[in-house]
Structures are given as C-alpha cells and as structure tokens.
Amino acid sequence: MKIFNIAAVASLVIILTACKAAHAEPTNNTPMHSNADVAWKELQQAAMLPKPPLEWKKQPPTDEQREKFNKQEAAAAIVAADKAKDFYTRFPDNTDAITAKQLECKMWETAFFDGYDKDIFSVWATAQQTLLADPKLTDTDKFQLHVAIVQRKRFDRWLDSNAREIEREKDIRELIKDYPKQDKPYEMLLNLAANSPDEKARSIANEILTFPVSEDIKTKAEGILRRLDAVGKPLDIKFTALDGTQVDLSRMKGKVVLVDFWATWCGPCVGEMPQVKETYKQFHSKGFEVIGISFDSGKQLLQRFVQKEEMPWPQYFDGKDWKNKFGAQYGIASIPTMWLVDKKGNLRETNARDDLKGKVEKLLAE
C-alpha cells in the first residue's frame, strides 16, 4: 500500500509552478529562457504522472489492469526522478534545486510501490539522504523527511523482520526525542504497538499515556488498551449495515464471527479478500459469519466494490476513514485487522489473518 498518493505529487507540482511564477522578470541582458528554465519546464511536465482511468471510479480495475497501470506509472516516475536529479545537479544554486530534490524522493517512492524493486528501494534511500543533507531544508520539511525515512524502512523486506522491527522502534523513539511536541512519532509508535504481542502493546500504550501528548493520541492509546481488555469478553458492535440490515454482534451467539477491519483503498486488505471469501464459502453453512468494518470515505465506491467482489456479508460504513467509530473504539491502528468471536460471543483471536481457516474450524468445533 502506498504511503502517499498521486494527489500529493500533484500538490508538489503546483508548488513547482508557483515557484517558477515567483521568479524575477528577466532584464534586457538576460535571455528569456535559460537552460535552467528549459530543464525546469521539462521536469514539470515529467512530474505529471499518468492518472488512473476515470472509469475506475465506477468500476474497480482488474488485477491485470492495475498491474499494467502500475508499470506505466513506475516508468514515468523513474523518468521524472532522473530529470529532477539532473536539474539539481546541473543547477545546484537554483532556488528550486531543493524542490527538485523533494520531487525526486516522491518519484522514487512511487516507482518503488509500483514494483517493490530492491534497486529502486536503494536509490530512493539515497535520494532521501541527499535531501536531508541540504542546508536549505526548512525545519518542517526536515521533520517530514525524517518521518518518511522511518516509514520507508518498514518496507525493507530484504532485512530480517525481527531486525527491521527493532530498528523501526529505535528510529521512532529517536523521532520522539527530537520532536516531542509532534503527534506523528507517537502515532507511529502506537501503530507499532498495535502490531506487537499483547504484553508489549499494553506497555507501549501505557507509556504513551505518560507523555504530554494530544487528546487524540491519548484516545488512540486508550483504544489499544480497550482492545487488549476486550479479549475473552463480548464485543460491543451494533450498527445499521451498508445494505440496510441491522447488525448486533450480541445476538449472533452460536456463530463464529470474523470481524474484518478493512478498506477498498488498502492493498493488503484487498489481497486478503480471496481468503475471506473462500473461508466464508467453506464454513458459512456450519455457522461462520463475517462482519466488515470499512474504513472507506466513499460510499458508492465501497458499494460497487462489494457488489463486484460478491461479498454477501454486512458492512459498517460511516465515511470517517481512520476516525471510523469502531476503529477508534478498539484502537485499530493498521488494516487489515481480523478478529474472531467465538460461539459464546467472546473475542478470542485478534490476529485471524494467520491461518484463518484453521482458526475458524477450531472455534466451530468447540
């Protein structure tokens, strides 16, 4: 799943245009178009990456269509990244050189998430370090870059997973030390906690509550503690589903229920859908049900996706994205998150993605 979107790149391109417009008018002794002007225009054009087809808003693309588009986008991003580097290399004193460095980082980021290539990952890391070393970088941009570097390391799949998590926690704590008044590092630590063993998750959540953090961060930490305390107890989940049906988990005793926190924009969530559908098909007649908790903000897109993918189970939708009612209530910091509720109505499993069928079958046999 990408950690930025094309809208972010478009915003940066707008900044590029604004910076260009702010340049002083040339004097009679200055050529109307210098080499830097030409290179800048070429960079602006290259940065306008291909846009997803408009019909995708009405009909989600197939895997083949998405893969083809990703390859086109990656190729265009690589061209733009090369032009950005060429610009700041040839014109290091240009007022827009630092913006070109920022754009280079964004382009390599796009190319990486379109293909998860190890060589691109390395070049992306180098581009970030080049930008970090620029003395013209503002304090705000420097903070955002430090965050981006820590986020990038999450996707270093060529590093041992345990070593990666240890390094990630170390980096996040360094961010907190350097930027104690910023919310983002605490959010990142909460995300790490949400994907940690229960004992560690509880320790981190309690630790964060001792920091001088915002009310939003406190609420998220308290949500993780509520989630941990919910294991072995009934869940308070009751709502009117997207299709109008009434859902009350307390009235589903005798069933094994999967509570799937997900979104259509979440690549890993969509990737898990075949497993969920197959499990539902195999065990529904034996008493297995699914409840979807959608983190989407667009109702129509969700409805079209559910229809296209033939997902017969109810979906909760409030359009609040990460401020989703049940996500906030139970401290869901990352998706997909899958929980299993046993026949007595008690939460039994908070990591159902791993061997979903086996865990469902075991609970059905009780």
What pTM does this model have? 0.71
Nearest to 69 by CA among 42, 84, 88, 49: 49
- Cα-based distances in Å from 308 to 59, 169, 302, 303, 305: 8, 39, 10, 9, 5
Model confidence pLDDT, tens digit, residues 58-92: 777 888 998 999 999 999 999 999 999 999 999 99
Model confidence pLDDT, tens digit, residues 100-131: 999 999 999 999 999 889 999 999 999 999 99
The total of other beta-carbon atoms located within 10 Å of residue 28's CB is: 4
- CATH numbers and ranges of domains, the chain: 6-51+60-158 (no CATH), 163-230 (no CATH), 238-364 (3.40.30.10)
pLDDT at 211 over 80: yes
Residue 62 confidence (pLDDT): 84
Nearest to 230 by CA among 317, 330, 151: 330
Higher pLDDT, 223 or 23: 223
Residue 294, token pair as written in the block: 């959608």
